Amino acid sequence: MEDKTQEIQQNTPDQQPPLNQGEPEKKPKSFLRDLFETILMAVVLFLLLNTVTSRVKVFNISMEPTLKQGYLLLVNKMAYKLGEPKHGDVIVFHYQGDQQEDYIKRVVGLPGDKVEISNGVVRVNEQPLTEPYIMELPNYTGRWTVPENELFVLGDNRNHSSDSHQWGTVKLDWVVGKALFVYWPFNAIDLLSVSNLVIAAP
């Protein structure tokens, strides 16, 4: 009888060991830790975005009607590190290599291209370009051969643009990146791609 009594006493609820005994208690994350992780993630994303893109504001009329003063653009700084420029690209570059002075123009000639402008028509390698984006036909003439590792650029506002027809070509090393789209003002949001430009072959 004594053995049975002891067995019953050992199994009473008051003497049972607590559940999950020996397991560590899980503590909720503190508010400060959550805040720190959120800020850290935001900083990392900002630095990553700033590494591959740039935000640019248009200050002149040389790219009208495509780009007007005050427009804000998103520029892909990795475009020509991972790929090659194409006819019709809108690019941002350091004027004459000066990092304090950036220009926005359209690529008309690639390395090795022969560019001719006459009678209001731009020809690349003897092929006339279809350019519905320009303000008006150019009233100047000239012939150029684009050197290796350089680009021939023109503003869409042809007769009111300081560009390659005046001061020559742009070295690829001066290029900041390719302008992707307008993101401000909202009513002007648009991709800066050209689908109906005649692609000239050297």
Beta bridge partners, 152, equal 109
Catalytic: 118?
Answer: no
Find the catalytic residue in 26, 30, 62, 81.
62
Cα–Cα distance measured from residue 123 to residue 137, given in angstroms and rounded to the nearest whole number = 13
Do 176 and 77 touch, CB atoms closer than 8 A? yes
Do 165 and 117 touch, CB atoms closer than 8 A? yes
Report CA-CA distances (Å) from 3 to 7, 10, 13, 16. Answer: 6, 11, 19, 18
Find the catalytic residue in 54, 57, 77, 105.
105
E strands in 11-146: 53-57, 72-76, 90-94, 102-109, 114-118, 121-124, 127-128, 142-145
Catalytic: 68?
Answer: no
Catalytic residues: 62, 105
